[in-house]
Amino acid sequence: MSRFQRDNGLTARIVVSFAVLTMLYLVFMSVLLYFGVGFVPIVIMVSLMILAQFYFSDKIVMWTSGAKVVTREQYPQLYGMVEKVALSSGLPMPKVAVMNTAVPNAFATGKSQKSSVVAVTSGIMDTLDDEELEGVIAHELAHIKHRDVLVLTLASLFSTVAFFLMRYALFGSMFGRSRDNGAGMILILVVAGVTWFVSFMIIRAISRYREYAADRGGAQMTGKPENLARALLKINGTMKRVPQRQLQKVESMNMFFIIPALSGDTLSKLFSTHPPVEERVRRLREMTVLK
């Protein structure tokens, strides 16, 4: 297998994105403090949200998906495949989970490399051959290698905090009465809205780039980019034949899936967490040509 190369572009984008978000939130906090929203309640609320996100995010993902951790005895071929790619890439062996749905997909979660989980659906095991499934597993392990789950969890916290600060500042349910008039409240709402929207867009941009980076990293792990390219095309094609009702049941997992269960219309694609499958396949096949 090819040697995994760290993606400096991904690292640079994450650093810049978090710097922009931090500056934006400093402005937001300054506005809240100016209009009498208490500093201590803000710190308490943000701290609690950070702790909750950090400690429970992976458990929430597993609970939401319904995926169950499995053993080597239950799924020897799948377990061996994950073990092979993880060991060759210098990663600790993650837990392996299976999600019982006909929707062909996969995801990774976990706060750290040592506590990570790689999950696949029963549908994807029925859809892909061994080489294609290995390519998908390598893609998910590349997310773990890049610590994408932790980064996205922390990044999504920014937009969540903006929403709750806006809500509590508006209703005064946590911070008490503001010493300013209605004009001040309008300014707080505007600043909060802008903060939330910019956070939302930055998170989407990070998420789309992380998919390209995981494709590239996964292809480097196996040394066979074409296998992942074929897998993406096959998953995408099969997904279109899955009943809409089944896709809607797993829609909440779209940010984590290798391909979203529901791609939506043209407008929703502007805010998508994933780049177009066709572009991902093109980039992977360019890697094949360059080998």
CA neighbours closer than 13 Å in the CB half-sphere of residue 119? 27
Residues catalogued as catalytic: 140
What number of helices (H) and strands (E) belong to the chain? Answer: 11, 4
Taking a C-beta distance cutoff of 8 angstroms, is the pair 210, 152 a contact?
yes
Residue matched to tokens 């269960």: 261
Extract the tokens encoding 66. Answer: 């319904």
> What residue type is 120 in one-letter code?
V
- For residue 215, what are the contacts with CB-CB under 8 A and spacing of at least 6? 139, 142, 228, 232, 280, 283, 284
Taking a C-beta distance cutoff of 8 angstroms, is the pair 181, 252 a contact?
no
Extract the tokens encoding 79. Answer: 């377990």
Burial class (CB in 10 A: 0-12, 13-18, 19+), 263: middle
